[in-house]
Structure 1
Amino acid sequence: MCGPFIRNYQYNVIKNQADSVLRAIRTVGDPKVLESVRLTAIAKVEELFPDVRDSRKTMLDSIANLKTAEDFHTYIQALEPYMLEFPRITEKQIQKLFPKNKKLKLPDLEQTDWRYVTYLSWTDISTNKMFLVYHNGEQFVGVEGRFTVTNKKSYCFACNRFEELVLFSAISKKKPAQSLPDYYKSVGNYICMHGHNCNKNITGLAPLEAFIGSVLG
Structure 2
Amino acid sequence: MVNPFIRNNQYNLIKKQVGLLQHACNTVSDPKVIEAVRYSAQSKIIDALPGITEFQKQMLENISTLNTSGEFHQYLRSLEPYMEEFKQVSEKQIIKLFPKIKKMKVPDLTEIDYRYMTYLGWNDIALNKLFLVYYLNGKLVGVEGKCTPANKKGFCLFCKRYEEVAFLSVITKSKPANATPDYYKAIGNYVCVNSETCNKNITDVSALEKFIHNSW
Q: Normalising by the residue count of structure 2, what TM-score does the alignment of the two structures yield? A: 0.97
Counterpart secondary structure, 2:53: coil
Q: Shift of the alpha carbon at 1:139? A: 1.6
Counterpart secondary structure, 1:165: strand
Unaligned runs of 5+ in 2: none
Q: Shift of the alpha carbon at 1:167? A: 0.7
CA distance in 1, matches of 2:127, 2:40: 47
In the other structure, the counterpart of 1:43 is 43
The 5-angstrom pairing of residues 25-104 of structure 1 reads: 25-104=25-104
In the other structure, the counterpart of 1:214 is 214
In the other structure, the counterpart of 1:190 is 190
CA distance in 2, matches of 1:120, 1:211: 15
Aligned partner of 2:98: which letter?
Answer: F
Counterpart secondary structure, 2:151: strand
CA distance in 2, matches of 1:151, 1:70: 38
Counterpart secondary structure, 1:122: strand
Aligned partner of 1:131: which letter?
Answer: F
Q: Shift of the alpha carbon at 1:49? A: 2.1
Contact in 2 for aligned 1:25/1:67 (Cα 8 Å): yes
Q: Shift of the alpha carbon at 1:103? A: 0.5
The 5-angstrom pairing of residues 118-197 of structure 1 reads: 118-197=118-197
Describe the superposition over 1:40-88 as per-residue Cα deviations: whole angstroms up to 9, x where unpaired: 1110011022322322111100111111111111000000000000001
Counterpart secondary structure, 2:110: coil
CA distance in 2, matches of 1:211, 1:89: 21
Q: Name the Cα RMSD after superposition.
A: 1.0
CA distance in 2, matches of 1:50, 1:114: 22
Counterpart secondary structure, 1:146: strand
Q: Shift of the alpha carbon at 1:166? A: 0.7
> How many residues get paired?
216
Unaligned runs of 5+ in 1: none
CA distance in 2, matches of 1:48, 1:2: 20
CA distance in 2, matches of 1:51, 1:146: 38
Contact in 2 for aligned 1:133/1:140 (Cα 8 Å): yes
State the identity as a percent.
51
Q: Normalising by the residue count of structure 1, what TM-score does the alignment of the two structures yield? A: 0.97
Contact in 1 for aligned 2:167/2:190 (Cα 8 Å): yes
Aligned partner of 1:40: which letter?
Answer: S
Q: Shift of the alpha carbon at 1:95? A: 0.4
